[in-house]
Amino acid sequence: MKVAFFSTQPYDRQYFNRYNKGHEISYFEAGLNRQTASLAAGSGAVCVFVNDQLDAGVLKELHSLGVTLIALRCAGYNNVDLAAAAEMGFTIVRVPAYSPHAVAEHAVSLILTLNRKIHKAYNRVREGNFSLDKLTGFDLYGKTVGVVGTGKIGIAFATIMLGFGCRVLAFDLVANRQLEEKGVEYLPLIDLFRESDIVSLHCPLNEQTHHLVNASTLEMMKPGSMLINTSRGALINTADVIEALKRHKLGYLGIDVYEQEEKLFFYDRSEELIPDEEILRLMSFPNVLITSHQGFFTNEALTEIARTTLANIALFESGEPLKNKVLS
């Protein structure tokens, strides 16, 4: 099957070429949007990532070009207009669980780095500065960690934090019995915010969770608490978080995602003037750590993404049942 592959990075070519058997893939560095949709001409499928735009206009263009399959090489699909896609008859597949441990472990690495100021210590030693002044952290043991969303990633994260000896609280629409048996306590979201020393977000982005962290919910949190987001950028109202950092209400922020990341992440912007004032402000805080959506970036995850995506395309082409379908 001919596949137009958008938002291509070198590692995409490496892993997809390694596991591809028979599909004709055209790789494009450009993200999918209304200006680039025409690149899919002659292809029956497009392969897209988290920041590609599949609104009604883009879908209409793809439909006119004869594209019938949208293969998401990620778990989330909030960037797709599902109603428009259904109306036009698209089939949509995804990679629901490429490596929950990869993202969960990255969330933990953000916590440890922020807490023990590893990034600062590394830079000091590189410059011959062996002082420990202002590198004080805190014991994770005995702290209360709130997990918002206990899908596969949330479960993996909660399990790790239990191993540190933390009290783990959780919020989700349905409690996970196995986590409860391990000692995780499910609470209403308000109580989780109020009681947690660290809050980590592991929920999908939808109408209910958009700007879940805002001025009101930040006010509920303990003074000096830590907020971690490795899910979707728009779970956080960035302006409100900046204000909370300025007032010292929020003590630490670690993010691997950002609401406007499609204009920044996955590309080298080091020789450019960055026009996004909010991320520049976040970068100026000494208690903020930002990584550019690398939580998924492990060998195991990249292998699973490639294999599952290619299998999804092959099953669609052969007319077999699609176990990873979002829409068909």
Active-site positions read 232, 261, 293
Sorted by sequence, the CB contacts under 8 Å of residue 65 that are 6+ apart come out as 37, 38, 40, 41, 42, 43
Of the chain, the end-to-end C-alpha distance in Å amounts to 18
What are the structure tokens assigned to 226, written together? 């830590």
| 5 neighbors 12 (Cβ within 8 angstroms) | yes
| 29 neighbors 5 (Cβ within 8 angstroms) | no
Give the integer Cα–Cα distance in Å for 245 and 283. 12
Give the integer Cα–Cα distance in Å for 41 and 26. 11
CA distances from 172 to 145, 231, 326 (A): 15, 15, 21
Across the beta sheet with 144-148, the strand order is: 185-186, 167-171, 144-148, 198-201, 225-229, 250-255, 288-290
CA dihedral 318, 8, 262, 207 (to 10 degrees): 10
